[in-house]
Chain A
Amino acid sequence: MTTKLVIGLDGHESGERVLDYGKRMAGLIKDCELLVVYVVEWSPYSFQTPEENAERHKRREEEISLAKARVVDPALAKLSEAGVKARGLVRHGHVADILNAIAKQENAEQIIVGRASSQGLVNRLFGSSTSTLVMSAHVPVTVIG
């Protein structure tokens, strides 16, 4: 059976290291598929103007194609160059929830993410997506520094 690993990318430079680690794991596991996921931070409970609502579908499509073009597709290209089997996904929602949900849905072995991309007060007060993920995930999480 193929072992699946979820790779969470956020477009920051730590993504390179996350990807490298994923590649290495895939090499060690042999029959392995990487799921490269980019999550667009979004809440169904935010407040919007009528105009924003009317344009929402268009913006969503733009966000998805941008994330694909900038983050997911280059990552997939690198992985395929290295001969690693991989799929890309772009989703809207909260990072921790989405990565965990995908891992569950795909029966993935573990989730690999980078360390919190921003530091400071906000993270201290509200916690980063990474720490939320570590605390809530149903599968092991590897955090790359």
Chain B
Amino acid sequence: MRNLFIALLVQIAAIAVAGTSFAQEAMTLDQQVNQAFAAATGPFVSFIFAPIPGTSFPWIVMWLVIAASIFTLYFGFVQFRFFGHAISLVKGDYSDPEDAGEVSHFQALATALSGTVGLGNIAGVAVAVGIGGPGATFWMILAGLLGMASKFTECTLGVKFRNEYDDGTVSGGPMYYISKGFKQLGIPGGKPLAILFSIFCIFGALGGGNMFQANQAHAQIAGIVGDYPGWITGIAFSVIVFAVIIGGMKSIARVTEKVVPFMGILYVAAAIIILLVNYDKIGWAFGQIFEGAFTGLGVAGGLVGALIQGFKRAAFSNEAGVGSAAIAHSAVRTKEPITEGVVSLLEPFIDTVVICTMTALVIIITGQLIVDPATGKYVLDGSMIATVGGTSGVALTSAAFGSAISWFPYVLAIAVVLFAFSTMISWSYYGLKAWTYLFGEGKTTELIFKLIFCVFVIIGAAASLGPVIDFSDAAIFAMAVVNIFALYFLMRLVKQEFHSYRERLASGEIKKFKG
């Protein structure tokens, strides 16, 4: 099965390579290959992103939001009631000093965050606001708040059902909780579902977690230094990724892992400064967000347009329900799986409610979206809102920050590249765990995946990616289809844990060690 899978990946690589800029003389062939790939994967992509009949609302977004709402109700608004407790846990108030030296809650949270904070927060939000108007921000925040409950559910299960090996290492994630959890509940079909999840996870890791990141990082660098072939960025990135994941050059990863949070803080700080300077417009901006959320303020698709964009970008950004975070969080060696679930609910909060909202506010407040003074509604340029510089995506965010702090676009470019890199490192691990679930743990098996991962970095930076990326995005969302389906069965196990934890917390059996 491993060889078959590798053959399939080689096929994808070959198709993507054929679509790269080194094969320019054969443009028509490239197009044919791209078309062939699109035709082969198209039905799957169309299925994942298909609108609900009679609407333009993709069902997958609905799937994520409904799940998040159900988990929110099922766990009695855990994201609000246990928010303070989550902060105490991260601060280490409940950490036994005897366990010092193990992965702390803070570390697990920071690691998971560095996998999700990235392009979604910078480019995705700009797309949401650019198409859906300020109102999209409202729906994005709502989706972020609801998504906290999805994270809570999946990360608790991640820790509860992880594998602990004799050598002390751990492996966890949806594939483990699906197969073990279903077995525990006596529900058949756990193993095939777990395998399906793993396959989607590998595709998602190589696509959205790798090629898309490499591609966008190249676009950023090329935007600053001028256009040059993507494979150069690809090889440079690939060498660094190789050094980290195969060469064991932990120092590079460690530097990135330190710089990325710093960049995140710098980004939020810059946004706060811009908001403070324009403090008189904050009230107006929130007015626009609320008004836009329910009226659309003239954007294409009106209210529904704003809602789709907000929900979609929140889901893209915080990955709640996708299952990826459960892999990252399962490394914590806690006696209480619930504590990890509680900590993980901070993730969509930081990612979406804080960082994404900052991006949106800066874009709105700096007046990037053109309003018709006569009607007070947004001027449309096709399906997008017309912007001051005619920009969208990362460029729109960059222009918004640049209009207030002239040198910030350079910092932003560095941040995007670093975010892309740290997202790749995280996803290389998620993909690896899915890979080893399918093919077994072992040095050679791991090496094969890591090498494939490095090759896809080059392809990602060089390729004209259209259909390949559509497929990878669809694979990430397909993970959510399998994961959430399984979560509906497994959530009662989380409830049992949660109930017992709450009781012991109330009775004082679970004590603070400090604070």
Contacts and interface: CB of A to CB of B under 8 A. Distances in A.
B207 to A, nearest CB: 18
A47 B114 contact: yes
B346 interface: no
Nearest to B429: A50
Contact of B254 (A45, A47, A53, A57): A47
A44 B95 contact: yes
Given A45-B106, A48-B111, A54 B100 contact: no
Contacts of A60: 101-102, 168
Interface residues of A, number: 25
Given A56-B331, A92-B101, A48 B170 contact: no
A98 B330 CA distance: 28
A72 to B, nearest CB: 15
Chain B residues touching A, range: 35 or more
B86 to A, nearest CB: 15
Contacts of A48: 103, 107, 110-111, 254, 257
A44 B105 CA distance: 8
B305 interface: no
Which of B110, B257, B261, B331 is most buried by chain A, counting CB atoms within 10 A of its CB? B331
Given A45-B106, A47-B114, A53 B328 contact: yes
Contacts of A87: none
A50 B111 contact: yes
Contacts of B507: none
A60 B104 CA distance: 13
Contact of A42 (B100, B168, B331): B100
| Chain A contact surface mostly | helix
Contacts of A50: 111, 115, 327-328, 331, 425-426, 429-430
A48 B250 CA distance: 9
A63 interface: yes
A116 interface: no
A92 B96 CA distance: 12
Interface string B152-176: 0000000000000001111100000
Contact of A53 (B95, B100, B108, B258): B108
A58 B168 contact: yes
B104 A44 contact: yes
B333 interface: yes
B508 interface: no
A49 B100 contact: no
A119 interface: no
Contacts of B115: 50
A51 interface: yes
Nearest to A55: B169
A105 B115 CA distance: 40
Contacts of A13: none
B107 A57 contact: no
B92 interface: yes
A63 B101 contact: yes
Interface in B315-354: 327-328, 331-333
B97 interface: yes
A61 interface: yes
A91 interface: yes
22 contacts: A44-B104, A45-B107, A46-B107, A47-B257, A49-B250, A49-B429, A50-B328, A50-B331, A50-B425, A51-B245, A52-B253, A53-B108, A54-B171, A55-B168, A56-B331, A57-B103, A57-B170, A58-B167, A64-B101, A92-B101, A93-B101, A101-B97
